[in-house]
Amino acid sequence: MAPASSAPTVDANGKLEKKPISYKNLALGATLNLFEVSTLGQPFEVVKTQLAANRGQSLAEALKTIYSRGGVFGFYQGLIPWAWIEGATKGAVLLFTASEFEYRSLAAGFSPFVAGMIGGMAGGIAQAYSTMGFCTFMKTVEVTRHKSGMCACAKESTFKIAADIFKREGIAGINKGVNAVAVRQCTNWASRFGITRITQESIVRLRYGEGADPKQATAMDKALASITGGALSCWNQPIEVIRVEMQSQVKQEGRPQKMSIATASKWIYKNNGIKGFYRGVLPRIGLGAWQTLCMVALGDYFRQLFGTN
């Protein structure tokens, strides 16, 4: 659900109030997240990861490779349990953190626009360091690890892989690339909040004239603004490619064993140039649009249905 649902408000006396968080909305957000990732969300995620990890492949080659790893089910690698854990928790983490930071920022005198971006940045970082770090890592492991039928590792369960990594490398091992995830989530939500709010205000002005109340925005206006914000926030695709490279299990001669954001950047540029940093951006735009349609359009519908607006 959008953190705006718990954004601070101003009462009749001009006093700043923090709106209470609706636990029904948290449950609804988790349910919609699970629906989103279990339908088109995970296929977009898998294609995006395949292209980012194997930057020499075309889109057609990536789709063929994914299909060879289990047919249609190949497009759902990493769904259970990692994407489900992430989907069931990330909305609540974002909502709690973003609403608190937005309230504190408004109280400190920042404008609603800036306060919203600060809330989004804080919420994105909290997502990364709570559940998204290890879930994103394990999803990437599932997509990029060797699954040839002649390899014994192909038959290992995802839980055994996770246990082996934890035994060998500890907490740091299963959270590999978490700093890149934090940068991605921070810039993602700051961009989505900022671009979406500017776009929505522009749509309202164009449709209803200058000085129109932003509350006049319809569900379609909000959905269009959110899709625009989600798509344009993909400007940070380079950090997403760096994140995938840090977490990838692809073996390549000369590839550094331990990767930081800096070493991963150098490796990508050395092998693929500037274009390498934008591999997988098309399915990521599709993912952002699908997530937005699920969370905004369906979210508004069910909030109205259950009376939790």
Contact (CB, 8 A) for 9 and 259: no
* Strand 9-10 with 16-17, pairing: antiparallel
Contact (CB, 8 A) for 232 and 191: yes
Residues whose CB falls within 8 Å of the CB of residue 176, separated by 6 or more in sequence, listed in order: 137, 169, 246, 247
Contact (CB, 8 A) for 246 and 211: no
Residues whose CB falls within 8 Å of the CB of residue 272, separated by 6 or more in sequence, listed in order: 55, 56, 279
Secondary structure (3-state) at 10:
strand
From CA 210, how far away is CA 204, in angstroms rounded?
8
Contact (CB, 8 A) for 105 and 118: yes
**pLDDT tens digit at each of 309 positions of the chain:** 444 445 565 555 556 776 676 788 788 888 888 999 999 999 999 999 999 999 999 999 999 999 999 999 999 999 999 999 998 998 788 878 888 898 899 889 888 778 878 888 998 899 889 888 889 999 999 998 865 454 555 567 888 888 998 999 898 888 989 999 999 989 988 887 778 878 888 899 898 888 888 778 887 888 888 888 888 889 999 999 999 999 998 888 889 888 899 999 999 999 999 999 999 999 999 998 888 778 766 776 787 787 766
